[in-house]
Structure 1
Amino acid sequence: MALTFQLDPPIDPALRDGVLALWADVSNAGGAVGFVPPVTAEDIRPELVKHLAAMAEGRTRLLVGRDAEGAVGATAFFSFNPHRLMRHHIWLYTVMVHPRHQGKGYGRELMAAATEAAGGFDGIEAIRLTCRGGTGADRFYAACGYKEVGRIPGAIRVAQGDDRDDIHMMLPL
């Protein structure tokens, strides 16, 4: 069964805890979402609080995918570009699908739902994102229609001696 997507869901303790659990599970499975395993929900909480504060200020929006049981199974955050000359592009980040749902096409569903949502945002002409090199994420995003538009070699230090490229990608709407 496919995920059910909702843009801007009401933030309550269940959603907050679901996003924290998802983020920890994705990180601990090796997902490139800002942390390196091992990580706990408490390690991630300060970063989620920043996301929620940006949402309260109207700078960020959340797309949530729920599985058949209603659990948070996927997320993507949109961040509006604050630079007055770049407001026609939106950033997509913290794109996650729970490891138990991977391999079912839910990642492509999430990206399609994100594209649809972004197309409804006033004045947005393109989605931008970055991903960590060496993970295959760039191939996944390319399969979803994104084009690589830049790469900063070795910009992400996963561990001493393990530097990865920061890959910038874009999808015109």
Structure 2
Amino acid sequence: MSLTFTLDPAVTPALRDGVLDLWTDVSNAGGAVGFVAPVERETIRPELVKHFAAMADGRTRLLVGQDADGRVAAAVFLAFNTHRLMTHWLWLYTVMVHPRHQGKGYGRDLLGAAAEAARGIDGIEAIRLTCRGGLGLERFYGSCGYKEVGRIPGAIRVAPGDDRDDVIMLLPLG
């Protein structure tokens, strides 16, 4: 069974709640998506609203993967660069696969769908992302074709005394 991916889905209450639940569940399962467990939906909601505002402004796009039951099972945001010298690549961020679906290849499918979506955007030549060191994410992204191009030691403070590297990765689309 695979996911059905939709780029730029209509932001309905069901989609909003599905992405919010996904983000909360991924965070609480230890996912490196901007929050540290335990986290409540209401803590994440303002950040999701910011993402939706960026989508409404045309600065960000959303790619959602739904399972056979129509539930949001995976999502990623694609953000355009606003700097005039960097408009040839975009950011991929908040890459999420629901914990109940992990280990099924859906993360790889999500990244493949994101790369395909980026290839369809005029002028985009690469995807850049950052990930939290210490979780093996670099190996996963590397297995999907991304190359580590930089690392900022200790840039992410998960908790007092628990600093992680911010790992910068790039996927050329050409």
- TM-score, normalising length: structure 1: 0.99
The answer for the alignment partner of 1:137 in structure 2 is 137
Residue matched to 2:38: 38
Equivalent in the alignment of 1:109: 109
Query: What corresponds to 2:50 in structure 1?
Result: 50
User: CA RMSD, aligned part only?
Assistant: 0.4
**1:19 and 1:48 mapped to 2: Cα distance?**
8
1:23-172 maps to which residues of 2 (within 5 A)?
23-172=23-172
2:13 alignment counterpart: 13
- 1:165 and 1:25 map into 2 onto residues whose CA distance is 23
1:38-66: CA deviation from partner (whole Å, max 9, x where unpaired):
00111100000000000000000000000
Question: What secondary structure is seen at the aligned counterpart in 1 of 2:68?
Answer: coil
Unaligned runs of 5+ in 2: none
Q: Secondary structure at the match of 2:47?
A: helix
How far the C-alpha of 1:136 sits from its partner, in A, is 1.0
Q: How many residues are matched? A: 173
Matching residue's letter, 1:117? A
Structure 2 distance, partners of 1:112, 1:158, is 29
Structure 1 match to 2:4? 4
Distance, in Å, in 2 between the alignment partners of 1:28 and 1:73 is 15
Secondary structure of 2:6's counterpart equals strand
Tell me, in whole angstroms, the C-alpha distance in 1 between the residues paired with 2:40 and 2:135. 21
Runs of 4 or more, structure 1, over 4 Å off, are: none
Measured against aligned partners, the alpha-carbon deviations of 1:101-123 in whole angstroms (never above 9, x if no partner) come to 00000000001000000000110
Unaligned runs of 5+ in 1: none
Three-state SS of the structure 1 residue aligned to 2:52 is helix
Offset at 1:130?
0.2
Query: Could you list the per-position Cα deviations for residues 109-150 of structure 1 after superposition, in whole angstroms to 9, with x for gaps in the alignment?
Result: 001000000000110000000000001111100000000000
- Per the alignment, in what secondary structure is the counterpart of residue 171 of structure 2? strand
Given residue 103 of structure 1, which amino acid in structure 2 is its aligned partner? G
Q: How many Å apart are 1:71 and its aligned residue?
A: 0.2
Q: Match of 2:134, as an amino acid?
A: G
